[in-house]
Structure 1
């Protein structure tokens, strides 16, 4: 199984379930990194998190990592599978950062991904398939996530698109764009 896997697609497409199935297929101990934090004051958010928690096997260890994802990845050991769900929430957690700080965070993240010996499965949302947001923070989020997914896709051995109830392995069906690292 590939060292770096990216699973992407729209909301409620089954991305997380596919990523979880890939983690189970790895036959390795799984470390689940949740980038969301549970807010008990937000009932609907809490129910979403609970749904994800109930679906995961009890032997998986879970870490809540809302911001310092590179440090958590760097701690992963070679014999594990690390499932990160989701990059969209991680980007949202760091929207307060200015552009130069964000660029350093992304560079550190990608450098860490390159160095980690563990298998890593990343879940990421596709937010740029709709209208351009009318407000600045929405555009920043959409652009940062889109750019991050594109960059991670260039270093992923397998890239899956989950949509319309189907999974497509884009690594087998598609071709990488030239200059995708920019």
Structure 2
């Protein structure tokens, strides 16, 4: 089993890089989409359509916007490659959870990833903490939850890529891991 994390800023090419990794796996790909479709948001619908147009017809797509993501990961076939796009959207979908419920959801996801039967799991995550501190509490909660989740997944991943400026950097081979004892903050 291999966990691969692909992270980067908006429109950097992270989803495309993750898709290329899934294609190279030569396994049956299951695309787990965390987005909730809102037909009244034309820009969002267009964004989702762009992602769909790049995917091979042979890929199975499952929409799992909430805790269904954890169940889909747990029930994935052994011979599959899971492509989860994206963690930022998943965190946003669960933003209304209180801190205790969020910690339980995050721990459940991390435990499921460590026990998954699928041969490859590729996760896409946005980097949100490189800008100004959000002015509103919900923005700060989102940024902090996503940053913590990405760091925790990075600690269990066999490979972590940063995609920016149209380039993918393998942080696993270029970087030095931090002390991975993480608190629940």
TM-score for both structures, normalised by structure 2 = 0.96
Task: Name the counterpart of 2:174.
Answer: 173
Is the CA contact (8 Å cut-off) linking 1:150 and 1:180 kept in structure 2? no
| Unaligned 5+ runs, structure 1 | none
Q: CA deviation at 1:156?
A: 0.3
Give a deviation string over 1:89-108, Cα, whole Å, max 9, x none: 00000000000110011111
Is the CA contact (8 Å cut-off) linking 2:12 and 2:164 kept in structure 1? yes
Is the CA contact (8 Å cut-off) linking 1:14 and 1:162 kept in structure 2? yes
Residue 123 of structure 2 aligns to a residue whose secondary structure is: strand
CA distance in 2: counterparts of 1:123 and 1:165, whole angstroms: 15
2:51 equivalent to 1:83: no
Task: Name the counterpart of 2:33.
Answer: 34
Give runs of aligned pairs for residues 84-99 of structure 1, distance below 5 A: 84-99=84-99
Distance 1:180 1:21, change over 3 A: farther
Task: Name the counterpart of 2:148.
Answer: 147
Residue 169 of structure 2 aligns to a residue whose secondary structure is: strand
TM-score for both structures, normalised by structure 1 = 0.97
Is the CA contact (8 Å cut-off) linking 1:6 and 1:122 kept in structure 2? yes
- The RMSD of aligned alpha carbons is 0.9
Q: CA deviation at 1:181?
A: 3.3
